[in-house]
């Protein structure tokens, strides 16, 4: 449980996480709903998040690297499918095999690596194929798909379990690139032998059933980030970051607060100092822009965020609330992760994956509750 010494807590609601997966699975209709748990499940902790998702019914998990895949296999046991998006190199092929992690093959070179691993293993090996429909980041570009179509023997020894691609602009439903990518995906997968198909990430699921194919791959929405930024967030909040007030002081005009004397009091103010800083992932760009919630009262940041501390103007909070030892919500608890991200000039993904290891983590709900 929570040690008295904890001054920053991240509470992760595993029931909300499981509920978000079920909502997305319902939205996906007949398509299978996987879960993307790369980057330690977007910073919330894959070793707790993934079992909660598995208990909710998720059978297929995506990570980025072979190492993440091996760690997840230890957590989840032998049954779930685990796919590594970054694909194999010769150096990790044996590791992928040993841990039953299926690589996503992103180039003719990666196909050759996996075909060679199959020859060594003396048995066909499963893999997913990633075709690039316009992201120009990972995946076989159309010219390499054409080579594969002409020379299908390049896939000898590889069982293609999934053909996937990835949207660049799914969070902008009206963006013309979405339709271009759907057309390109149909064309590229049509050039290959028939296999189950996957295109949609979180936001893609909300573009409509024609993007669902056989499997959808939500990440961000599972963790409470809004997959439909132009509309109300359909997802439940999963993370709640709270920082403890260390000190409260009264300052008079014209005193200043913090580095650079950025906050200049124009009238007498009460300032609360909280034990969370940019080293904890509370971005420095939130100085003078962010806000916290103290027992339901919004309290704006005053001055710059420093490494281990931030300062809030609690003048307008009712007497007795802003006292040393009281907790202020900084992400969640009335300040959505998307709102924090917008104030920081970034996206919720970066806010969550920045959350530091110094923060005390508490998990509620879930299979071990």
Contact set with ligand PLP (CB under 6 A):
36, 38, 85, 166, 201-202, 217-221
The least distance separating ligand PLP from the CB of residue 103, rounded to whole angstroms, comes to: 13
Identify the bridge partners of residue 260 per DSSP, sorted by sequence position: none
CB–CB of 82/100 below 8 Å? yes
110 or 201: whose CB is closer to ligand PLP? 201
The least distance separating ligand PLP from the CB of residue 105, rounded to whole angstroms, comes to: 13
Concatenating the DSSP letter of every residue in 264-310 gives E-SS-EEEEEES--GGGT--GGGTTT-EEEETTEEEEB-S---SS-E
The least distance separating ligand PLP from the CB of residue 61, rounded to whole angstroms, comes to: 12
Cα distance between residue 22 and residue 18, in whole Å: 6
170 or 309: whose CB is closer to ligand PLP? 170
Give me the sign of the Cα torsion angle 340, 344, 347, 353. negative
Cα distance between residue 160 and residue 307, in whole Å: 48
85 or 96: whose CB is closer to ligand PLP? 85
Concatenating the DSSP letter of every residue in 28-46 gives TTTSEE-EE-HHHHHTT-H
16 or 220: whose CB is closer to ligand PLP? 220
Which residues are annotated as catalytic?
38, 259
8 or 128: whose CB is closer to ligand PLP? 128
Closest residue to ligand PLP in the complex (CB): 219
Neighbours of 19 (CB within 10 A): 17
The least distance separating ligand PLP from the CB of residue 35, rounded to whole angstroms, comes to: 9
The least distance separating ligand PLP from the CB of residue 324, rounded to whole angstroms, comes to: 38
CB–CB of 50/16 below 8 Å? no
**Pairing assessment for the beta strands 8-13 and 239-251 based on DSSP bridges:** antiparallel
């Amino acid at each position: 449980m929570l040690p008295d010494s904890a001054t920053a807590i991240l509470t992760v609601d595993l029931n909300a996480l499981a509920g978000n997966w079920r909502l997305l699975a319902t939205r996906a209709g007949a398509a299978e709903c996987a879960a993307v748990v790369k980057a330690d499940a977007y910073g919330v902790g894959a070793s707790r998040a993934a079992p909660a998702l598995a208990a909710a019914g998720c059978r297929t998990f995506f990570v980025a690297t072979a190492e993440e895949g091996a760690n997840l296999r230890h957590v989840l046991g032998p049954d779930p499918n685990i796919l590594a998006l970054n694909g194999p190199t010769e150096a990790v092929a044996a590791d992928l095999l040993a841990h039953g992690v299926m690589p996503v093959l992103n180039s003719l070179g990666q196909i050759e690596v996996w075909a060679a691993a199959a020859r060594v293993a003396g048995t066909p090996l499963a893999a997913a194929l990633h075709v690039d429909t316009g992201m120009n980041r990972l995946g076989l570009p159309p010219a390499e798909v054409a080579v594969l179509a002409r020379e299908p023997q390049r896939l000898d020894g590889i069982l293609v379990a999934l053909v996937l691609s990835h949207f660049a602009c799914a969070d902008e439903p009206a963006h013309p690139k979405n339709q271009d990518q759907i057309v390109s995906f149909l064309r590229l997968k049509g050039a290959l032998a028939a296999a189950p198909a996957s295109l949609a990430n979180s936001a893609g699921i909300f573009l409509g059933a024609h993007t669902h194919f056989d499997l959808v791959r939500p990440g961000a929405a599972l963790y409470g980030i809004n997959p439909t930024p132009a509309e109300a967030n359909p997802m439940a909040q999963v993370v709640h970051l709270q920082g403890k007030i260390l000190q409260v002081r009264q300052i008079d005009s014209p005193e200043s607060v913090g580095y650079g004397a950025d906050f200049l009091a124009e009238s007498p103010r009460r300032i609360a100092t909280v034990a969370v800083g940019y080293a904890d992932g509370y971005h420095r760009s939130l100085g003078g822009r962010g806000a916290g919630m103290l027992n339901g009262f919004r309290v704006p940041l005053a001055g710059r965020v420093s490494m281990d501390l931030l300062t809030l103007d609690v003048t307008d909070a009712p007497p007795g609330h802003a006292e040393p030892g009281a907790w202020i919500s900084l992400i969640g608890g009335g300040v959505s992760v998307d709102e924090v991200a917008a104030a920081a000039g970034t996206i919720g993904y970066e806010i969550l994956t920045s959350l530091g290891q110094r923060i005390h983590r508490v998990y509620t709900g879930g299979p071990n509750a």
